Structure 1
Amino acid sequence: MNGARMAGGIVIVLFVAAAAFGPLLAEFAPFAVDGQRFAGPSLEHWLGTNALGQDVFSGLVHGARTTLFIGLAVATLSTALSGLFGLLAGYSKRLDPVLNAVANMLLVLPSLLLILIVASFSGGGTWQLILTLGLLTWPAYMRLIRASVLSLKEREFVKAAQLFRGGTFYVLRKHLLPFLRPLLRTKFIMSFKQAVAAEAGLAFLGIGDPSLPSWGKMLQQAFSRSETWMTDVWQWTVLPPAFAILLVTVALALLGEKSDRFGSSVPKRTRPAKSGRGFLETAETTVGSQAGTASGVMAAADEPPPPAAVAARGLEVAYGGKTILHPVSFAVETGSVAAIVGESGSGKTTLARALYGLLPDEAVLGEALIGGKRMYGGGSKSAMRRWYDAAFIFQDPRASFNPLMTIGNQMTEAMQLDVPARGKREAAATALREVQLDERLLDRYPHELSGGMLSRALIALALVNKPGVLIADEPTGALDPIVKREILDLLVSKVKEHRMTLLLITHDLRAALRYADCIMVIRDGRLLEDAEKEQWLARQQGQHGQETQLMSRELQLSQ
């Protein structure tokens, strides 16, 4: 905490203490007439008396209770509405138009006129004032929060949380709300400050509960007397409430200062994700998978062959009438490594996301299948256990991890629910050791790891549930050539060790030739070639001759 925030916090604490314990020290009731008119400060009346002979100190400390309570209540209500409606509007396409329309309507309404109208018809009670101010001040920050949620929900770590069936409430609470805390904190402080000033101004105009003392009412009484400015009584009738309002608003402004020059800091520790069945559905076990005996294989000789690990049948992607991916059809056999190569912007990532079911249903035509399960249509998305049957490695590892959660929390979050918390941590540590990382990294945040370490941690996260299919979309695109080679070697070795199917999306042809069993070439959203590596090399050798021979020789030497 910097000096400005500390000073603001101390001032607020002093005023809260005055509001809580000051009335116990005051000898007089706030409205009791127990002294002479305009008596100066004395041992009996610490801050003198006003025009009615009422004790100014008693009115000041009792008024602090009223003013600070109204400010706290308005700030709490307004901040809660801004956060709730901002989250819902940014996350839900259905609620967004409705909440946005209501916010826009309230923004253009004259707030002061509405407050005067409500006060005239309701009598100006405290709760009526709190509700009016709270309901009129949430739209502006709601729009800021909505904009942040619209951006955050497209981040890879949010997509990953949705893929392992994180419910709406879970994703909002666990992955989006922590990012909004600085905005909500600023909104709370700003609303508190504005509510204190608004209450004082309205009380000065005579709007409010006349039976409750407040700083604005003290100023109204002082300004309504001509003696206030004709003598020196303004020094103890005007200055105390005016300085109190000024100090509180300045202190709240100081509290709104950033904690350091780079903004709010990352929390030191995040609690591990609680186990519960509110956001994940337990998956049904697949009967008779990967454990057949010799007799079982013979009995199944007449049965149809098992489905391809990954398949596309006339798969097409279009947005707004513009075709991004033209119809493609192919199949990747179980246990193989297939590479999709192409230049940047050719449609590789669109194809990978379409295969994994990450695109909107209305944008996709044809069929995408993983393990024989359709990714679009017919309720197939509930049947496909993402992160368990199949996993997806996004391009940027830093965007794939939630920066406010530790590596360990994010790995345990993606595991099955029937595993106890201690077992989850041990499994996460084992997964890190498999990718040559120390298990102490479980307690680290993503920003504390280098790019290569994060890439390895992302591979560990993808492999922690031992999925049958792994789709890797440019997993080493941001790394230098040496680290890239190490990461790809590690990825392919773990895929073969666990007998998985790997679909590698890359623009590095040499990497595809080194690791893949079959190669698919895509250009301008069209699948141009799909062949085994040897057939593809032979075909290219006939077309390009010496260049392909040199590439083939380099490949043999590297192996």
Structure 2
Amino acid sequence: MKLTWSQRVGLLLFGIFVLVALFGPLVTSSPFTIDADRLLPPSKQYWLGTNAIGQDNFSQLVHGARTTLYIGLMVTLISTFLSASLGLLAGYSKRLDPLLNGLANMLLVLPSLLLILIVASFTGGGTWQLILTLGLLTWPGYMKLIRASVLSLKEREFVRAAQLYNGKTGYILVHHLLPFIRPLVRTKFILSFRSAVAMEASLSFLGVGNPSTVSWGKMLQDAFSRTQTFITDAWLWMIVPPAVAILFVTIALALIGESKMTGNPFAARLNRKESRVVPEKEMEHKTGCEEPCVEGVSLGCHLAAAGEQPSAIVVRDLKVTYGVKSIIYPISFEVKQGSITSLVGESGSGKTTMARTIYGLVPDESVDGTVMIDGHHIYMNGEPCTMQRWVDAAYIFQDPRNSFNPIMTIGQQFYETMRLQTSKEQKQAAAVAALVEVQLGAHVMSLYPHQLSGGMLSRALIALALVNKPKVLIADEPTGALDPIVKREVFDLLVSKVKEYHMTLLLITHDIPAALHISDNIIVLQDGVQIQGEQKQHYLEKGNQLYHQFG
């Protein structure tokens, strides 16, 4: 981590403050000792003179630094922890969001100073009462910022992918979302510390707090309450030192908080902790469909007897609605084991919604009908799906840059999906082997997604989907963001691996010539409706011609 010059200055100043607070009281006398004349000027014995009752100002300044550090640190830890944890929960959980966001809004409109004075009047103004009051009143502002960030982040593909392998809420919050909000948490920590120092000094100056504790604010209160302070030169050593100390700390924290860091803020060490998964239930695989299914256009490319194979994907009377709007109208089809089926159609026709629905990424309340993958019912009236995602079936998202978590290494994301290997060595060997199969080296394991090109990321995503050798693979335009040459290489690689492992592939694509070349069946969607017969044949012929002409 490379620090800017201003950050180095801030850390140096703050380090001096911490050293004085920790070790200064060990080498100075008690701040409450009265052993000198009143209002003495600075001398060798009393570096900052004495106050109106004969106490050593330097000793009080040093002990006050410890009080400021203690109160500031405790308030900051409480406030930052509440902002980060409640912001994560509010942004991620729809059930908790109204409650937590409403509580934050209520605290934001309440007058904080009035609440502090009320609490102090009823509790006696002890140190811990002050810490808890400040900590519990200063979290809502940054909590709402963190909540807004999480609301956006949880819709990203890498979070959806983490949910697919049944990652627990706590695991996703800590490993996938918390790293993104670390800059906010760091800024919140620094600003809270700075605010706590200023608020503690202000409240002590007003007489709120523990009167038996020495603090910089208490020194200012004592100085301003004495008329002798301004009649003589005593203000120079009674007011200036604590005021400069407060300014010194706030400037140091401002320099630390406002400077920017360069370089990669994330460690390259792999985190190999596994998330817990829902236990897999045994289920008999059905070999056929009792009702006749709607057949696609048989092209007879590489599976002559596809109709004799059992069905890997079964869709019956599937309808998808969002509110009152229908996205997919009732549709039925089957995808035979070991076959390649392409799902084509114009943009907005419902292809991606269809693929996501088949894989279980659409809310249950929006789906009517039956969807089965390898004998597992995907929608079971609220009960957990028995299909092991990334093991029984895998999904390749459209944009590889959105599919990978940008703050986790490629290796970390491989380990999250791997369920067939138990030891660390087995996982690493299997992941490296999968990367080698897609023409990537083992060094990719330690790289972050931003360090790979688009073609390399697409290959890594294919390797990620194939590492567990799933029976069913759903690929949503896996080459859509690539240039034509790389697109063809990645496309051929995907098809070759599917055939090599005898997998079932449901491919969503706009590349009609490629679909005609590699597919056993083609399903055409138009405005959420499956078209067949002559209309379908006309669409495929026209699409093939236009693609060759303009593609």
Asked if 1:367 corresponds to 2:384, the answer is no
Asked if 1:272 corresponds to 2:271, the answer is yes
In the alignment, is the contact (CA less than 8 A) between 2:340 and 2:520 conserved in 1? Answer: yes
Give the Cα–Cα distance (whole angstroms) in 2 for the partners of residues 416 and 548 of structure 1: 41
Give the Cα–Cα distance (whole angstroms) in 2 for the partners of residues 79 and 386 of structure 1: 36
Equivalences for residues 453-532 of structure 1 within 5 A:
453-529=456-532
The percentage of counterpart residues that share the same residue type is: 59
In the alignment, is the contact (CA less than 8 A) between 1:164 and 1:280 conserved in 2? Answer: yes
Give the Cα–Cα distance (whole angstroms) in 2 for the partners of residues 197 and 221 of structure 1: 17
**Relative to 1, partners in 2 of residues 1:357 and 1:548: Cα closer, same or farther, differing over 3 Å?**
closer
Give the Cα–Cα distance (whole angstroms) in 2 for the partners of residues 465 and 204 of structure 1: 65
Query: What's the counterpart of residue 304 of structure 2?
Result: none
Asked if 1:198 corresponds to 2:199, the answer is yes
In the alignment, is the contact (CA less than 8 A) between 2:341 and 2:520 conserved in 1? Answer: yes
In the alignment, is the contact (CA less than 8 A) between 1:452 and 1:479 conserved in 2? Answer: yes
In the alignment, is the contact (CA less than 8 A) between 2:285 and 2:374 conserved in 1? Answer: no
Other structure's SS at 1:382 match: coil
**Relative to 1, partners in 2 of residues 1:79 and 1:25: Cα closer, same or farther, differing over 3 Å?**
same
Q: Tell me by how many angstroms 1:525 deviates.
A: 1.4
Give the Cα–Cα distance (whole angstroms) in 2 for the partners of residues 486 and 266 of structure 1: 34
Query: What's the counterpart of residue 155 of structure 1?
Result: 156
Give the Cα–Cα distance (whole angstroms) in 2 for the partners of residues 289 and 313 of structure 1: 15
In the alignment, is the contact (CA less than 8 A) between 2:340 and 2:521 conserved in 1? Answer: yes
Query: What's the counterpart of residue 280 of structure 2?
Result: 283
Query: What's the counterpart of residue 395 of structure 1?
Result: 398
What code does the residue aligned with 2:272 have? A
In the alignment, is the contact (CA less than 8 A) between 2:319 and 2:329 conserved in 1? Answer: yes
Asked if 1:6 corresponds to 2:3, the answer is no
**Relative to 1, partners in 2 of residues 1:152 and 1:549: Cα closer, same or farther, differing over 3 Å?**
closer
In the alignment, is the contact (CA less than 8 A) between 2:71 and 2:196 conserved in 1? Answer: yes
Q: Tell me by how many angstroms 1:19 deviates.
A: 0.8
Q: Tell me by how many angstroms 1:372 deviates.
A: 2.4
**Relative to 1, partners in 2 of residues 1:479 and 1:497: Cα closer, same or farther, differing over 3 Å?**
same
Give the Cα–Cα distance (whole angstroms) in 2 for the partners of residues 475 and 395 of structure 1: 5
Query: What's the counterpart of residue 24 of structure 1?
Result: 26
Give the Cα–Cα distance (whole angstroms) in 2 for the partners of residues 215 and 548 of structure 1: 78
Query: What's the counterpart of residue 214 of structure 1?
Result: 215
What code does the residue aligned with 2:123 have? S
Query: What's the counterpart of residue 409 of structure 2?
Result: 406
Equivalences for residues 295-334 of structure 1 within 5 A:
307-334=310-337
Give the Cα–Cα distance (whole angstroms) in 1 for the partners of residues 354 and 273 of structure 2: 35
Give the Cα–Cα distance (whole angstroms) in 2 for the partners of residues 53 and 549 of structure 1: 96
Q: Tell me by how many angstroms 1:463 deviates.
A: 0.3
Other structure's SS at 2:217 match: helix
**Relative to 1, partners in 2 of residues 1:422 and 1:156: Cα closer, same or farther, differing over 3 Å?**
same
Give the Cα–Cα distance (whole angstroms) in 2 for the partners of residues 418 and 551 of structure 1: 47
Give the Cα–Cα distance (whole angstroms) in 2 for the partners of residues 518 and 249 of structure 1: 69
Q: Tell me by how many angstroms 1:460 deviates.
A: 0.1
Asked if 1:112 corresponds to 2:113, the answer is yes
Query: What's the counterpart of residue 143 of structure 2?
Result: 142
In the alignment, is the contact (CA less than 8 A) between 2:283 and 2:375 conserved in 1? Answer: no
Give the Cα–Cα distance (whole angstroms) in 1 for the partners of residues 420 and 92 of structure 2: 25
What code does the residue aligned with 1:253 have? A
Q: Tell me by how many angstroms 1:40 deviates.
A: 0.9
Other structure's SS at 1:457 match: helix
Query: What's the counterpart of residue 301 of structure 1?
Result: none
Other structure's SS at 2:385 match: helix
Q: TM-score, normalised by structure 1?
A: 0.90
Q: Tell me by how many angstroms 1:270 deviates.
A: 3.2
Give the Cα–Cα distance (whole angstroms) in 1 for the partners of residues 62 and 315 of structure 2: 74
Q: Deviations over 1:157-197 (max 9, x none)?
A: 11111111111111111111111111111111111111110
In the alignment, is the contact (CA less than 8 A) between 1:510 and 1:551 conserved in 2? Answer: no
Equivalences for residues 447-458 of structure 1 within 5 A:
447-458=450-461
Q: Tell me by how many angstroms 1:287 deviates.
A: 7.8
Give the Cα–Cα distance (whole angstroms) in 1 for the partners of residues 414 and 370 of structure 2: 31
In the alignment, is the contact (CA less than 8 A) between 2:349 and 2:528 conserved in 1? Answer: yes
Query: What's the counterpart of residue 540 of structure 1?
Result: 538
Q: Tell me by how many angstroms 1:514 deviates.
A: 2.1
Q: Deviations over 1:374-417 (max 9, x none)?
A: 21124564311111100000011011111111111110111016
Q: Tell me by how many angstroms 1:231 deviates.
A: 2.4
Give the Cα–Cα distance (whole angstroms) in 2 for the partners of residues 536 and 334 of structure 1: 27
Give the Cα–Cα distance (whole angstroms) in 2 for the partners of residues 459 and 111 of structure 1: 54
Give the Cα–Cα distance (whole angstroms) in 2 for the partners of residues 89 and 140 of structure 1: 13
Q: Tell me by how many angstroms 1:367 deviates.
A: 1.5
**Relative to 1, partners in 2 of residues 1:415 and 1:232: Cα closer, same or farther, differing over 3 Å?**
same
Query: What's the counterpart of residue 296 of structure 2?
Result: none
In the alignment, is the contact (CA less than 8 A) between 1:519 and 1:536 conserved in 2? Answer: no
**Relative to 1, partners in 2 of residues 1:305 and 1:169: Cα closer, same or farther, differing over 3 Å?**
farther
Give the Cα–Cα distance (whole angstroms) in 2 for the partners of residues 103 and 149 of structure 1: 16
In the alignment, is the contact (CA less than 8 A) between 1:282 and 1:417 conserved in 2? Answer: no
Q: Tell me by how many angstroms 1:4 deviates.
A: 1.2
**Relative to 1, partners in 2 of residues 1:374 and 1:35: Cα closer, same or farther, differing over 3 Å?**
same
Other structure's SS at 1:409 match: helix
Give the Cα–Cα distance (whole angstroms) in 2 for the partners of residues 279 and 520 of structure 1: 37
Flag structure 1 segments of 5+ consecutive residues without an equivalent: 291-303
Give the Cα–Cα distance (whole angstroms) in 2 for the partners of residues 174 and 258 of structure 1: 26
Flag structure 2 segments of 5+ consecutive residues without an equivalent: 288-306
Q: TM-score, normalised by structure 2?
A: 0.91
Give the Cα–Cα distance (whole angstroms) in 2 for the partners of residues 548 and 118 of structure 1: 73
Q: Deviations over 1:224-267 (max 9, x none)?
A: 1222222222111111100110111111111112434xx77341
Segment drifting more, 33-42 vs 457-466: 33-42
Q: Tell me by how many angstroms 1:43 deviates.
A: 0.8
Give the Cα–Cα distance (whole angstroms) in 2 for the partners of residues 549 and 19 of structure 1: 76
Query: What's the counterpart of residue 86 of structure 1?
Result: 87
Give the Cα–Cα distance (whole angstroms) in 1 for the partners of residues 207 and 546 of structure 2: 87
RMSD: 2.4
Segment drifting more, 280-289 vs 361-370: 280-289
**Relative to 1, partners in 2 of residues 1:500 and 1:256: Cα closer, same or farther, differing over 3 Å?**
same
Other structure's SS at 1:383 match: coil
Give the Cα–Cα distance (whole angstroms) in 1 for the partners of residues 544 and 146 of structure 2: 57
What code does the residue aligned with 2:538 have? Q
Q: Tell me by how many angstroms 1:364 deviates.
A: 1.2
Query: What's the counterpart of residue 298 of structure 1?
Result: none
